[in-house]
């Protein structure tokens, strides 16, 4: 088992990563003083529930915890105000109090939604993440929690750090292949932002990762989390630096919004977004290989690099302007300046963006 400390002063917490560590859940909960006197709200989705809920429930109940579980429908659509309200109702009806804990068992959707419930219920109660997707390595660092609005993703939320994150690689074995690839998109994003060596390592180990090799995965998740945690520690509330984590997300979020949270997985949208950012980079005068390498490695991981032809460019542009990253009338892009390095730029014109979006439709 590897342990990574996310360093945030009095809000610091550990991420435990390893094969089979769900078996240690009771010990870890005890170690972190998760209350046994107050009910726990365990949130998961119907797909994750099928594979992993019974085990978690059994362990916790045996360990002396009171647990109420709530199963939401799988998928991004559940990250809604309506679902948020339902969970709050369950929390009230189940008698959750200020010493209670919300536990998220699932991917980023369950994590973000349950996390926002934890952040808001009684103005904030304890929160534990048990990520079950590769992509959720990203959401398990940094405390961003949120739900979507029909007009914009993640627009309603908070910063709420968990007490601990318990990341059992064994749970990833039930993931559909497409989800594995989509998850690796955010792993390599962390390399593209800060660590050329990590990108090279992923390039070299791409097939092992796609096969969910235990050791490779532990290494990749640890490093992905580590890079993010270093950045987040320096800028918890995203005043500035933390924005670099949004590489690929300006375009990516807009694609998701226009595709109405259907059709494209988050990691897939981000993959296309990273190719777009690399193209913008070249347009701004950076070397061509940033674009070709970005594209080559993403393709090797089985990720999409082409903008779906049926999506309307103007709609995507409008969605981008609704995005949080559209600040004081300027669009903000994270631009790679080399493999493993990025900068925050306000220099990109609307025209350049729509040009790149057109080009993204032609990628092969």
Binding residue numbers: 108-112, 132-133, 144, 153, 171-174, 186, 249, 266
Cα–Cα distance list, 142 to 145, 229, 277 (Å): 9, 7, 23
Shortest Å distance, C-beta 107 to ligand NAD: 2
Q: Is 162 in the site for ligand NAD (CB under 6 A)?
A: no
Residue 237 known to be catalytic: no
Tell me the chain's radius of gyration from C-alpha atoms: 20
With CB under 5 to 8 Å by kind, the binding choice for 38 among ligand NAD, a copy of itself, none is: a copy of itself
DSSP string covering 162-183 = -SEEEEEGGGGGGS-HHHHHHH
Q: Can you tell me the distance from the alpha carbon of 289 to that of 30, in angstroms, rounded to the nearest whole number? A: 50
- CB nearer ligand NAD, residue 162 or residue 336: 162
Closest residue to ligand NAD using C-beta atoms: 108
With CB under 5 to 8 Å by kind, the binding choice for 101 among ligand NAD, a copy of itself, none is: none
Of residues 139, 232, 246, the one with CA closest to residue 193: 246
Shortest Å distance, C-beta 61 to ligand NAD: 21
Determine whether 146 is exposed, middle or buried from the number of CB atoms within 10 Å of its CB (0-12, 13-18, 19+): buried
Shortest Å distance, C-beta 207 to ligand NAD: 21
Q: Is 266 in the site for ligand NAD (CB under 6 A)?
A: yes
- Under rule CB under 6 A, which residues in 15-74 are in contact with ligand NAD? 45, 47-48, 51, 74
Q: Is 85 in the site for a copy of itself (CB under 8 A)?
A: yes
Question: Where are any strands of DSSP class E within 7-88?
Answer: 13-18, 40-45, 67-72
With CB under 5 to 8 Å by kind, the binding choice for 362 among a copy of itself, ligand NAD, none is: none
Q: Would you give the binding string for a copy of itself spanning residues 129-148, x where CB under 8 A is met?
A: ---------------x-x--
Cα–Cα distance list, 52 to 67, 71, 72, 295, 363 (Å): 15, 12, 14, 35, 39
Q: Is 92 in the site for a copy of itself (CB under 8 A)?
A: yes
Q: Is 106 in the site for ligand NAD (CB under 6 A)?
A: yes
Q: Which of 154, 229, 286, 294 binds ligand NAD (CB under 6 A)?
A: 154
What's the residue count for the chain? 364
Residue 249 known to be catalytic: yes
With CB under 5 to 8 Å by kind, the binding choice for 45 among a copy of itself, ligand NAD, none is: ligand NAD
* C-alpha neighbours within 13 Å on the C-beta side of residue 6: 30
Residue 73 DSSP label: P
Q: Which of 158, 206, 283, 284 binds a copy of itself (CB under 8 A)?
A: 158
Q: Can you tell me the distance from the alpha carbon of 138 to that of 159, in angstroms, rounded to the nearest whole number? A: 14
Shortest Å distance, C-beta 326 to ligand NAD: 17
Q: Is 93 in the site for a copy of itself (CB under 8 A)?
A: yes
Q: Can you tell me the distance from the alpha carbon of 338 to that of 281, in angstroms, rounded to the nearest whole number? A: 9
- Residue 247 CA, chain-centre distance (Å), reads 13
Which 3-state string (H, E, C) describes 69-120? Answer: EEEECCCHHHCCHHHHHHHHHHHHHCCCCCCCEEEEEECHHHHHHHHHHHHH
Shortest Å distance, C-beta 122 to a copy of itself: 5
Q: In the chain, what is the straight-line distance between the N-terminal and C-terminal CA atoms, in Å? A: 40
Residue ranges in contact with ligand NAD by CB under 6 A: 45, 47-48, 51, 74-76, 79, 106-110, 112, 132-133, 135-136, 138-139, 142, 144, 154, 171-172, 174-175, 179, 182, 266
């Amino acid at each position: 088992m590897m342990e990574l400390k996310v360093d945030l002063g009095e809000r610091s917490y550990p991420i435990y990563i390893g094969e089979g560590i769900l078996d240690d859940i009771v010990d870890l909960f005890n170690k972190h003083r998760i209350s046994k006197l107050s009910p726990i709200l365990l949130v998961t989705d119907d797909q994750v529930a099928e594979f992993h809920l019974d085990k978690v429930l059994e362990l916790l109940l045996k360990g002396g915890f009171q647990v109420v579980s709530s199963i939401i429908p799988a998928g991004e659509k559940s990250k809604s105000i309506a679902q948020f309200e339902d969970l709050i109702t369950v929390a009230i009806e189940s008698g959750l109090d200020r010493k209670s804990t919300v536990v998220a068992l699932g991917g980023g959707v369950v994590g973000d939604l349950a996390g926002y419930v934890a952040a808001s219920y009684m103005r904030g109660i304890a929160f534990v993440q048990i990520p079950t997707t590769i992509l959720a390595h990203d959401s398990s660092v940094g405390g961003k929690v949120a739900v979507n609005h029909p007009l914009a993703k993640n627009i309603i939320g908070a910063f709420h750090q968990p007490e601990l994150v318990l990341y059992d690689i064994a749970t990833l074995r039930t993931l559909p292949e497409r989800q594995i690839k989509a998850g690796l998109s955010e792993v390599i994003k962390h390399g593209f932002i800060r660590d050329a060596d990590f990108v090279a390592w992923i390039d070299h180990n791409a097939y092992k990762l796609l096969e969910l090799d235990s050791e490779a995965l532990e290494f990749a998740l640890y490093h992905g989390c580590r890079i993010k945690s270093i950045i987040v520690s320096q800028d918890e509330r995203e005043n500035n630096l933390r924005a670099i984590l949004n590489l690929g997300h300006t375009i990516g979020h807009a694609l998701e919004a226009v595709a109405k949270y259907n059709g494209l997985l988050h990691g897939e949208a981000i993959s296309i977004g990273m190719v777009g950012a690399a193209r913008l980079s070249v347009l701004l005068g950076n070397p061509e290989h940033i674009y070709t390498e970005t594209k080559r490695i993403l393709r090797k991981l089985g990720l999409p690099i082409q903008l779906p032809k049926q999506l309307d460019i103007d709609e995507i542009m409008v969605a981008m302007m609704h995005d949080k990253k559209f600040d004081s009338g300027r669009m903000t892009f994270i631009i790679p300046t080399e493999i493993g390095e990025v900068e925050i730029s306000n220099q990109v014109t609307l025209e350049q963006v729509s040009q790149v979006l057109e080009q993204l439709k032609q990628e092969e």
